[in-house]
Amino acid sequence: MFFEILSMNGYGIYVWSSFIATFVVCLYFYLKTKKTLKKLEKDFIKEAESLSKLELENLKKQKIAREILVSHSKN
């Protein structure tokens, strides 16, 4: 019974290999994007630390910058 479900009347090799290939490609892009985002966040924090107090306060008013700075302070 289990083998019949996996074999899918002879088409299982194509279905499962396509599924695995798609999963691997999506996982690769997810990990690559996550790594790039972490790098950009670190660069942003480094740059934000070098700003003057007035520039930093103006930056904190921006929604995306505020979210990055808050998430960084939790770590």
Q: Is the pLDDT of residue 43 over 80?
A: yes
- Convert the pLDDT of each residue in 3-42 to its tens digit: 887 888 889 899 999 999 999 999 999 999 999 999 998 8
Highest mean pLDDT among 22-26, 46-50, 55-59, 67-71: 22-26
Contact 69, 60 (CB under 8 A): yes
What DSSP designation does 11 have? T
Q: Is the pLDDT of residue 67 over 80?
A: no
Considering only residues 75 and 66, tell me which one the structure prediction assigns the higher pLDDT: 66
Integer angstrom CA distances of residue 37 from 43, 44, 67, 75? 10, 10, 14, 15
Give 3-state DSSP helix, strand, coil % of the chain, rounded to 5: 90, 0, 10
Contact 72, 41 (CB under 8 A): yes
